[in-house]
Amino acid sequence: GEDVEQSLFLSVREGDSSVINCTYTDSSSTYLYWYKQEPGAGLQLLTYIFSNMDMKQDQRLTVLLNKKDKHLSLRIADTQTGDSAIYFCAEWGNTPLVFGKGTRLSVIA
Amino acid sequence: SQTIHQWPATLVQPVGSPLSLECTVEGTSNPNLYWYRQAAGRGLQLLFYSVGIGQISSEVPQNLSASRPQDRQFILSSKKLLLSDSGFYLCAWSPSSDPQWAFFGQGTRLTVV
């Protein structure tokens, strides 16, 4: 079945850039997403990219997609303490949303 | 606008007790509905999804069941809880016309003791 992998932890200093990486296996994925989960809360859709795109930029967020390698990344510029959260990579392909295990981003002031 | 409600927010239940978690969506009709579970170290796992009343697809065989008695109501149940049922349960909905856009509730933290 489909699988989404991402590293579990990332720690960065405030003001630096954060890069969260993700790999997926479903070559039929049409949409790829990044969700953000703050402590004790549900998931918030942060951004997404359609499978025929290589890059998408939205303010401080940049999503890069390498469809050949099935690799997705999320770059957060000028990371702030409010960006501390768990970030989930997800894909939509043949089945409803499949998520990775989430990357816990810790921002050090 | 559409909203999704989940309750309760937290729940502590003894092993062997029954479970009923409820999710309702407002402001839309015929949504696709989903139950996910987030367990420690295991990420978000799709448990059930439904594309219509009485239509339930199970992704993972387990101690849980789901029902959709009304168009915008999705219920997660268990007859006898296990310790391994502990986790954070998230309900989500997506428009049937654009099922790739999912919106999540605030979740229920279930602790089985």
Query: What's the whole-number average pLDDT of chain B?
Result: 92
CB B10 within 8 A of CB B108: yes
CB burial string A82-95: b at 16+ within 10 A, e below:
ebbbbbbbbbbbee
Residue A66's identity, in one-letter code, is N
- Confidence (pLDDT) at A12: 97
Quote the DSSP letter at residue A82: G
- Confidence (pLDDT) at A55: 95
Between the alpha carbon of residue B2 and those of residues B38, B69, B76, the distances in Å are 24, 20, 21
pLDDT level of residue B85 (50, 70, 90 thresholds): very high
- Confidence (pLDDT) at A40: 80
- Confidence (pLDDT) at A71: 95
Q: Look at residues B79, B106, B103, B93 and name the one whose alpha carbon lies nearest to residue B7.
A: B106
Characterize the bridge pairing of strands B108-112 and B10-13: parallel
Question: Of residues B98 and A56, which shows the higher confidence score?
Answer: A56
Q: Chunked in runs of 10, what are the mean pLDDT values of chain A (109 residues)?
A: 87 97 88 91 91 93 95 97 95 84 94
Put simply, the chain A residues between 81 and 100 with a CB less than 8 A from any chain B CB are 88, 90, 92, 95-100
pLDDT tens figures, B28-57: 999 999 999 988 777 888 999 999 998 999
User: What's the CA gap between B43 and B36, in Å, rounded?
Assistant: 10
Does B105 sit within 8 Å of A101, measured CB to CB? Answer: no
- Confidence (pLDDT) at B44: 87
pLDDT level of residue B108 (50, 70, 90 thresholds): very high
Chain A residues inside the 8 Å CB shell of B36:
99
- Confidence (pLDDT) at B86: 94
Please state the separation of Cα B59 from the chain's center in Å: 12
pLDDT level of residue B8 (50, 70, 90 thresholds): very high
- Confidence (pLDDT) at A64: 97
Does B41 sit within 8 Å of A30, measured CB to CB? Answer: no
- Confidence (pLDDT) at A42: 85
Q: Is B48 on the interface with A (CB under 8 A)?
A: no
> Strand order in B19-26's β-sheet?
B3-7, B19-26, B73-78, B65-70
Query: Percentage of chain B with pLDDT > 70?
Result: 99
B70 CB-near residues (< 8 Å, 6+ apart): B53
